[in-house]
């Protein structure tokens, strides 16, 4: 009787472990892929199918946001902002919001400085991405993540 119950509990434990591992293994990559695909699709829709270069764009976000309804963000791109070398557009992309595109800003050589601050909504903890299109047509990418304690869209 004793051995039987031990066997039983062992079987149950291993079953649970298997189940949990299986869940983690299937759920994680699937969700991450869907998120990335949405954000990538939004970037392609805005800028066309061009390669993204890492760097030159910095995103400033608070490490923790208590309220996802209003999170301060600053996006800056390194550029001379001269008549022949300037930032044409800057896009803010959220991989987890219902609409991946948050805003697209059009700048020009007259901006003097390629930096924008605003407040955005965040539907949960995520890595916000920013893409800058320079006057030579190249795309540059930067990102920053924030832990959101209270997500937008769920409450008022």
Partner 1 sequence: MATIRIAAPDTASAGEVIELKVLIQHPMETGYRSGPDGKRIERDIIETFEVTYDGETVFEADLQPGIAANPIFTFYTRATTSGPIVFKWTGQDGESWSETHDLTVE
* Residues that bind partner 1 in the complex, under the rule CB under 8 A: 69-71, 74, 92, 94, 97-99, 101-108, 110-113, 115-121, 152-153, 156
Q: Which is nearer to partner 1, 43 or 71 (CB)?
A: 71
Cα–Cα distances (Å) from 75 to 47, 63, 66, 97, in that order, read: 17, 15, 20, 18
In angstroms, the CA 59 to CA 3 distance is 60
Q: Which is nearer to partner 1, 11 or 99 (CB)?
A: 99
Residue 53 CB contacts under 8 Å (≥ 6 apart), including other chains: 138, 139, 140, 141
Smallest distance from partner 1 to CB 90, Å: 9
Smallest distance from partner 1 to CB 112, Å: 3
Q: Which is nearer to partner 1, 78 or 105 (CB)?
A: 105
Quick check: 13 and 61 in contact, CB under 8 A?
Answer: no
In angstroms, the CA 7 to CA 13 distance is 10
Smallest distance from partner 1 to CB 77, Å: 12
In angstroms, the CA 7 to CA 138 distance is 63
Q: Which is nearer to partner 1, 18 or 41 (CB)?
A: 41
Q: Which is nearer to partner 1, 25 or 153 (CB)?
A: 153
In angstroms, the CA 105 to CA 110 distance is 14
Smallest distance from partner 1 to CB 121, Å: 5
Task: Tally Cβ neighbours within 10 Å of residue 117.
Answer: 10
Smallest distance from partner 1 to CB 95, Å: 11
């Amino acid at each position: 009787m004793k051995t039987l119950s031990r066997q039983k509990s062992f079987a149950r434990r291993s079953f649970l472990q298997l189940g949990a591992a299986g869940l983690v293994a299937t759920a994680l990559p699937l969700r991450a892929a869907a998120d990335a695909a949405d954000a990538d699709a939004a970037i392609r829709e805005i800028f066309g199918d061009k390669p993204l270069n890492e760097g030159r764009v910095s995103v400033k976000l608070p490490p923790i946001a208590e309220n996802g309804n209003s999170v301060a963000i600053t996006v800056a791109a390194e550029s001379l902002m001269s008549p022949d070398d300037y930032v044409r557009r800057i896009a803010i992309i959220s991989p987890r919001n219902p609409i991946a595109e948050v805003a697209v800003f059009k700048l020009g050589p007259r901006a003097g400085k390629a930096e924008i601050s605003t407040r955005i909504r965040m539907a949960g903890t995520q890595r916000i991405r920013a893409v800058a299109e320079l006057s030579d047509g190249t795309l540059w990418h930067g990102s920053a993540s924030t832990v959101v304690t209270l997500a937008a869209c769920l409450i008022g």
